[in-house]
Structure 1
């Protein structure tokens, strides 16, 4: 598949890998010096000479910072755990994600590096984009909003839910692009068909935040919508994105991505499954070897679309038991909190599955009784702690496996 200048965001996407690698690692020492001016990194990187960290082997000797550790670190040294030199007021927007983890948006254009992911999905300057990611407290909405506007698109800041209002916006503004979870796109399409509303203007989509199985991909495509996956986190922004090649996901520019053996921080052999570790080169808020808990593997060679950066297979599970449900992370610590609020329960196991192309949760609880009032109370606690609804099933003590697993993702 040949690529022309019209098919890429900029020429950096097709430079030789060695040129890219040299450029990234020539910038890294200055980023390390900036990071080490903060108390968090000064302690973590004590004794490191930034001038010597100029290749992947040297980078791999630096300690891992685990995303799962951020809530405790942020609580100890609020708001950013001592890993950010600027005061909170120096940033454009301030967010929180479950944990809690506190995130800051830099003031420069496209701070989450999402514009090239949207370009790869077919978005172009002048397009009208319906953005259904949440704008409330968490950064998802603004990650895609700033990306679309940096690309030159007009954005409808719709957020999720309220399909009737969404239909009015779609019929009035005729957006070509959609940003949001694939689940909500299906809801919009199904609801529009039932209500006789016209959403046919939407022709392309950048989806993230939830599973996108082949069955749902085919259903979305049957509506004439070309949907491409984007992969990222609230801390790092867009990490990788799908292209017209439909062959893995291309790693974003301006980041250094490693795949390491979970729990060790040591890079795995090419093609082996491991945990994603990312180093960013944003001087306002650098991340040095942040392990995000997601598993993936590299693909050999360059993408058929012509982009030359490293390719990954996409999301292949979790290195820990934290999982994402309807775009929200659910953590083992949250299940433990439910147990603390209901001491009459024994073992707990949250089972995450799919039903009618939607994520669903079932919390299995060992309990000596089958009290319906208790079951209802636990369901309320589940929603309060995770901010997600789910069903609760009570089972006799000893029925759940004694294997230490509290979250089982069966999707």
Structure 2
């Protein structure tokens, strides 16, 4: 680690990078086939030695994130997809769904140091980590990345905003790490309390849309905030740099953009579903992992000097599953809400972002009765771990289009 780039891998010749990734691929396929029962079945007729190119990789089946809950229920706890015994794991997390996420042994297991370094985080600087440390892995992901750089971390987690302000004022961290909108909440609370927080000059955010108004708000405060894109299952996928022209794909990741609902790669520039393979990720050796997220490849290379492929960033979901305040919300969770309230005939979750924070509105078809809205709202919070409003609509009034989750947020 020195200067502008985390290591020399970021500026290497593109052909050298591609050759290294393809050389690592057969061993990764062999490891998955030999150690993960699900891949032993899926790849029974595949000779790993022959999977040494993108074309050969594209012939393999995809593993869909949307199917993990069912796979794990059928073959607990990880759907037969882990490449090491459970006893060799470092941690086990649980994302909404529920989906169990195994973490292997090792320092920067999720490779987030590269993204933090690109945001300006440097050795010795305190990092104020506002990602959750329980159930989901984001807190652990970025703490490990900060430690790899050589930074002490304050494990702030979420909530307790007034205390967050007090700690930042006392410890004077240089960097905030968390969801895009929570830093704004902290800064506004500091204004309300009459507390200045001049030490915060760097921010790194993910888990939600980082829209232009929020970028402007932070810039006017003298805080340079950058974003990354990753998933709980495999960690960092791509990250923003000082060039602010798309997101640079992480060095260890083989990224494909495929036509949604298929495994067929689309031409560069066409919007499709993000599919990734991370050779060497032995504890959880997912192959052609279809994230359900939409993005597209940008032409050329970044002016920052990093030579890897760039993507436009997160452009929505390929299915109706969506992300709200950093948490996935699945259609099956809305079905669970209905199951617990037999008087509700149909439901449609509308996700919006009218200001700088995600909101959820669950429209339900039902005959109005006292306490129904509050009861359904409580169930929605219990099932999704997120709060939302509930509105009762007359029976037969919701659109008959099969849509359970309607994400009306704008990402342009």
* TM-score normalized by the length of structure 2: 0.97
Query: Do 1:5 and 1:11's aligned partners in 2 also have CA atoms closer than 8 Å?
Result: no
Taking the aligned partners of 2:145 and 2:296, their CA distance within structure 1 comes to 26
Q: Distance in 2 between matches of 1:190 and 1:169?
A: 15
Quote how far apart the aligned CAs of 1:347 are.
2.0
Match of 1:387 among 385, 392, 395: 385
Among residues 129, 132, 144, which one is paired with 1:131 in the alignment?
Answer: 129
SS of structure 1 residue aligned to 2:276: strand
Deviations 1:97-120, CA, capped at 9 Å, x for gaps: 011111122211100010010000
**1:332 and 1:407 in contact (8 A); partners too:** yes
For residue 370 of structure 1, report the CA deviation from its aligned partner. Answer: 1.7
For residues 47-102 of structure 1, the C-alpha deviation after alignment (integer angstroms, 9 at most, x for no partner) is: 00111111100000000100010011111111111111322221211111011111
Matches within 5 A, 1:140-159: 140-159=138-157
Deviations 1:185-204 (A, max 9, x none): 01001000011122221101
Please give the residue correspondences for 1:7-406 in structure 2 after superposition, counting only pairs within 5 Å: 7-37=4-34, 38-281=36-279, 282-367=281-366, 369-406=367-404
Separation (CA, whole Å) in 1 of partners of 2:2 and 2:340: 58
SS class of match (1:13): helix
Per-residue deviation, 1:140: 0.7
Contact 1:257 1:279 in 2 (8 A): yes
Kindly report the root-mean-square deviation, in angstroms, between the aligned alpha carbons of the 2 structures. 1.1
* Aligned partners of 1:88 and 1:94 also within 8 Å: no
Per the TM alignment, residue 338 of structure 1 is displaced from its structure 2 partner at its CA by 1.0
Q: What is the CA–CA distance in structure 2 between the aligned matches of 1:306 and 1:366, rounded to whole Å?
A: 54
1:131-158 per-position Cα deviation (integer Å, ceiling 9, x unaligned): 0000011101000000000111110001
The DSSP-based 3-state class of the residue aligned with 1:7 is coil
Query: Normalised by the size of structure 1, how large is the TM-score?
Result: 0.97
CA distance in 1, matches of 2:376, 2:103: 36
CA contact (8 A) 1:182 1:212 kept: yes
Question: Which whole-Å CA distance do the structure 1 matches of 2:325 and 2:105 have between them?
Answer: 29
The CA deviation at 1:356 is: 3.0
Q: Is the 8 A contact 1:133 1:160 kept in 2?
A: yes
Query: 8 Å contact 2:84–2:282 — kept in the other structure?
Result: no
Q: Deviations over 1:8-55 (max 9, x none)?
A: 000000111111000001011011111001211001111001111111
Count of residues in correspondence between the two structures: 407
Distance 1:60 1:336 in 2: 34
Runs of 4+ in structure 1 over 3 Å off: none
CA distance in 2, matches of 1:138, 1:235: 10
SS in 2 for 1:265: coil
Instruction: Determine the C-alpha separation between the residues in 2 that align with 1:73 and 1:264.
Output: 19
In the alignment, structure 2 segments of 5+ residues that lack a partner are none
Q: 1-side partners of 2:218 and 2:111: how far apart? A: 26
Distance in 2 (CA, whole Å) between partners of 1:88 and 1:116 is 28
Displacement of 1:5 in angstroms is 5.9
Which whole-Å CA distance do the structure 2 matches of 1:153 and 1:104 have between them? Answer: 25
